[in-house]
Chain A
Amino acid sequence: MIMNPYIYIIPFLLVLISLEMLVANQRGLKVYRFQDTLVSINVGVVSQFVNTIGGVISVTMYSILVARYGAFTWNESNPLTWILGLLLYDFCYYWVHRAGHEINISWAAHVVHHSSEEFNLSTALRQSATGFYFKWIFYIPLALLGFSVKMFIVLGLIDLIYQYWVHTQLIGRLGFLEKFLVTPSNHRVHHGQNDYCLDKNYGGILSIWDQFFGTYADERENEKPVYGVRKPLRSWNAVWGNLHHYGVIFKQVKEMPQWRDKLMVVFAPPRWRPDSDSTAEELFDHKKFERFNTYSSKLMRSIGVITTLLGAVLLANFLMIQSHLELSSRLGYSAVMLFGYVVVGWVWFIPLKVRV
């Protein structure tokens, strides 16, 4: 039975979240909020359900391309092959990530990851469920070079897992490492919505690509990043979090009278406006930003914890048995789980706004 590697990785990630909570508590820092953390975990679970199918599409496309156009054969027992592969994969990832921020339709897939208004290890779990349709395109150079499907998958896992630890406020600047590695400090900038943070620090493992292409920014001590997005999600629904920006784009496309503007809404950077025909952002005052918060009783919190744990257990079960399931069964299992999350997200987090 082929075991999905996430079965082994996820418990470890959850242990690290608990550890971060403990350390933050000891330092007197409040980096976690109940609703935000549960939603991050739920979004991660949702993405896993969807990506069992989305991931198959990506890997299938890659395998066909590498079989047909791959020019070289690589010695996978040589560590240098893996180092080169990782370097190239990370370079391609930089462009995936940059497209995810600078093309509106791709931002719709990526925005859920940035929708958290906190910044902690659970934010790393808040992964998109809809990015699979475009990400594989950027790895075509790897296929042309002949890197095998196995390498593609493993390098992808390494690149993804590395980015887990950088989602924390508990680690400060790391000196000279900032200039060539993605670190918690420069990744905090990436998640910020302050003016100096927008569209910066796209790297996965290495920050040298940002240095080279002019998208690097250092964290400022006198202006800490304010996390979240400028069009806040204002919802705790894990499924809606993945889809809401598609709805925004759809609405804007309908409102545009000209076809050129309709296309611009889809493919221009998210900040594009037809009146100014530029990507000028409205002035943002990071001091006035109010985080989204709603009241939740002890009962609702208990229900939230139970449903999240149940979702995680069902995901673990799904990951264990999925290789034996027909595609229709996988789709059915995923559909039921997604429906469940829609209901949970709607019912127990009805927004009754309360100031933080």
Chain B
Amino acid sequence: MLAARVTLPIGIRLSAGIFASAAFLGILKFSSLYPLPSWHAFFIMLGAVSALPLWAIAAFDPMARVVGEIHFALIFIGIMAVLGIIIVVFAHWPLYADVLALLSSCIVIAGGMYSRQWYKLSGGCVLFCAFLLFATKISVSFLKSGDILHLGMGLGLWLSSRSNID
């Protein structure tokens, strides 16, 4: 939905598009409808290393060029994606994606505090907790770390985008 709203800045729409792709592929995978596990893994990585940082920049500085202009948004996504591919895939350091995700959520928190928007702040906190629990493989009750991640991301992204929609 966020990806389709033309009133939103292109940076948010691109990030949302990547998250949506990962989510859709996840549905295909876990429902066994048409599993494409390699693509799900790719878009998860892409989401963590490029879409989340762009989302975080949008939360901190909505007027930034990488958020508002497609030329720079695509360059940002491209460069971050390449860095992510090189570090995660070629250098075999998957922790990079976790680190970037955590850092991005911290930037969202900082953006919420700076602009005094509690939606953004709470969204950032939810994201931070979700990523931390996922990275440390901690389960809570019947919820596994992957469940926490998916729920946390859904809630966190929705909350942190509220100030853009409203």
Q: Which of A68-76, A176-184, A301-309 contacts B (4 or more CB under 8 A)?
A: A68-76
| Complex interface: chain A residues within 8 A of B39 (CB) | 69, 71, 144
Report if A70-B75 is in contact (Cβ < 8 Å); known contacts: A61-B90, A65-B85, A137-B82.
no
- A153 interface residue (CB < 8 Å to B): no
From A61, A71, A102, B38 is in contact (CB under 8 Å) with: A71
From B41, B65, B78, B89, A137 is in contact (CB under 8 Å) with: B78
For the complex, what is the distance from the CA of A137 to the CA of B85, rounded to whole Å? 10
Contact yes or no, A70 B90, CB < 8 A: no
The minimal Cβ–Cβ distance linking B18 to chain A, given in whole angstroms, is 13
Contact yes or no, B72 A70, CB < 8 A: no
- B138 interface residue (CB < 8 Å to A): no
For the complex, what is the distance from the CA of A69 to the CA of B88, rounded to whole Å? 13
Contact yes or no, B42 A144, CB < 8 A: yes
The minimal Cβ–Cβ distance linking A73 to chain B, given in whole angstroms, is 12
Please name the residue on chain A nearest to B39 by beta carbon: A71
The minimal Cβ–Cβ distance linking A268 to chain B, given in whole angstroms, is 8
From B38, B75, B78, A69 is in contact (CB under 8 Å) with: B38
| Complex interface: chain B residues within 8 A of A70 (CB) | 38
From A68, A144, A267, B89 is in contact (CB under 8 Å) with: A68
Contact yes or no, A64 B90, CB < 8 A: yes
| Complex interface: chain B residues within 8 A of A260 (CB) | 65
Please name the residue on chain A nearest to B69 by beta carbon: A268
For the complex, what is the distance from the CA of A69 to the CA of B42, rounded to whole Å? 7
- A103 interface residue (CB < 8 Å to B): yes
For the complex, what is the distance from the CA of A13 to the CA of B146, rounded to whole Å? 57
- B162 interface residue (CB < 8 Å to A): no
- B137 interface residue (CB < 8 Å to A): no
Q: What is the number of contacts between chain A and chain B, taking CB atoms within 8 Å?
A: 31
For the complex, what is the distance from the CA of A24 to the CA of B75, rounded to whole Å? 43
From B72, B75, B78, B89, A65 is in contact (CB under 8 Å) with: B89
Contact yes or no, B72 A267, CB < 8 A: yes
For the complex, what is the distance from the CA of A137 to the CA of B42, rounded to whole Å? 14
- B36 interface residue (CB < 8 Å to A): yes
Q: How big is the A interface, by class?
A: 10 to 19
Prevailing SS type, chain B contact patch: helix
Please name the residue on chain B nearest to A138 by beta carbon: B78
Residues in A41-71 with C-beta less than 8 Å from chain B: 61, 64-65, 68-71
For the complex, what is the distance from the CA of A55 to the CA of B20, rounded to whole Å? 34
For the complex, what is the distance from the CA of A144 to the CA of B71, rounded to whole Å? 24
The minimal Cβ–Cβ distance linking A95 to chain B, given in whole angstroms, is 10
Please name the residue on chain B nearest to A266 by beta carbon: B75
For the complex, what is the distance from the CA of A115 to the CA of B90, rounded to whole Å? 35
Please name the residue on chain B nearest to A260 by beta carbon: B65
Contact yes or no, A69 B41, CB < 8 A: yes
| Complex interface: chain B residues within 8 A of A144 (CB) | 38-39, 42
For the complex, what is the distance from the CA of A137 to the CA of B46, rounded to whole Å? 13
Contact yes or no, A64 B75, CB < 8 A: no
From B36, B41, B42, B75, A103 is in contact (CB under 8 Å) with: B75
Query: Chain B, 68-106, contact with A by CB distance < 8 Å: what is the 0/1 string?
Result: 000110010010011001000110000000000000000
The minimal Cβ–Cβ distance linking A96 to chain B, given in whole angstroms, is 12
| Complex interface: chain B residues within 8 A of A65 (CB) | 85, 89
| Complex interface: chain A residues within 8 A of B89 (CB) | 64-65, 68
Q: 25 A-B pairs, CB-CB below 8 angstroms?
A: A61-B85, A64-B89, A64-B90, A65-B85, A65-B89, A68-B38, A68-B89, A69-B38, A69-B39, A69-B41, A69-B42, A71-B36, A71-B38, A71-B39, A102-B71, A103-B71, A103-B75, A137-B78, A137-B82, A144-B39, A144-B42, A260-B65, A267-B75, A268-B71, A269-B71
Q: 6 nearest interchain CB pairs?
A: A69-B38, A69-B42, A71-B36, A267-B75, A137-B82, A71-B38
Binding site for A on B (CB under 8 A): 36, 38-39, 41-42, 65, 71-72, 75, 78, 81-82, 85, 89-90
Inter-chain pairs besides A71-B36, A71-B39, A102-B71, 10 sampled, C-beta below 8 Å: A61-B90, A65-B85, A68-B89, A69-B38, A69-B39, A69-B42, A70-B38, A71-B38, A268-B71, A269-B71
